[in-house]
Structure formats: C-alpha cells, structure tokens
A = this chain, B = another copy of it.
Amino acid sequence: MTDFDYMQEALALAKEAAEMDEVPVGALIVRRGEIIARAKNERELSRLATHHAEIVAIEEACRALGGWRLPESTLYVTLEPCPMCAGAIIHARIERVVFGAHDEKNGAFGGAFDLSQMPNFFRPVIEGGVCEEECRQILSAYFRQKRKK
C-alpha cells in the first residue's frame, strides 16, 4: 500500500462522516504496514469538542498497542491537523504525518503555523498535499450543502 492508497481509505472515512452530517475528515494510523486505527470526525455524534478524527484515531491506536506512545507509526488524515490534533500527534510520538488538504487558517503543520518545527517538541516528519484536490472537494461540498440549509 502506498500513501495514495492509505489516503483513499481515509477519504472513504471522511465520506462516512459527511453522511452523518459531520465535518468530513477521516484519519487512520498505520504501523509496520498494518492499519491499527480508523476514525472519522465525530464531534456532533459524540458531543465532545475533542473528538476530531485524529484524536479518536490516536486513542484507538493507544488502546491497540496498550500504551500512550505510538512509535513507528504514520498518521494519514484528509485535512491538515489543527493545533489540538497536532499537539496530540506530538505527545503520541507519531513519526510521520501525511495529510491531504492544506488548511491556511487552522492548520498547525505549516498552515497557520508549524508545530513540527518547535525546538522543544518531538518532531514528526510532515507531508502535505496527498490527494489534495479530492480531500478539499469533499470539504467544499459539505460546507456548500450546509449553507443551503
């Protein structure tokens, strides 16, 4: 499986989120070639401010591995992580982050600012823009629909 393949899986999760009237973001965590967590944004369903796709995925992966560190892991997510999620990624020592759509307003891995370059923090390797167009379109379609309601 390539980064493209994993991002397609994350996109499928984002589509599930859209169907549930959630901001459509999907995430998965891969370790040694195995998907150890799949999640979608579920802020409305859970009614928790914290339940972005990345947080749900990180908690699932911590449960799968039995500890709060997630070494040798890559997190795939359809949208550039916000500060909360970027902070959680750093706490969990996730080595690599691949995201789809850049987010200039809220993104914390190069968009609004870059948490991966802070001198005192663990520094994951970041790659943005994988399947960017598809990831962006699913978000635009969701917000267009929302404005019509």
Contact = CB atoms under 8 A, between A and B. Distances in A.
A106 to B, nearest CB: 6
A62 B70 CA distance: 27
Interface string A31-55: 0000000000001101111110001
Given A91-B84, A112-B120, A50 B47 contact: no
A135 interface: no
Interface residues of A, number: 38
B106 A121 contact: yes
12 contacts: A47-B63, A47-B66, A47-B67, A48-B58, A48-B62, A50-B92, A83-B83, A83-B90, A86-B87, A87-B108, A112-B118, A113-B118
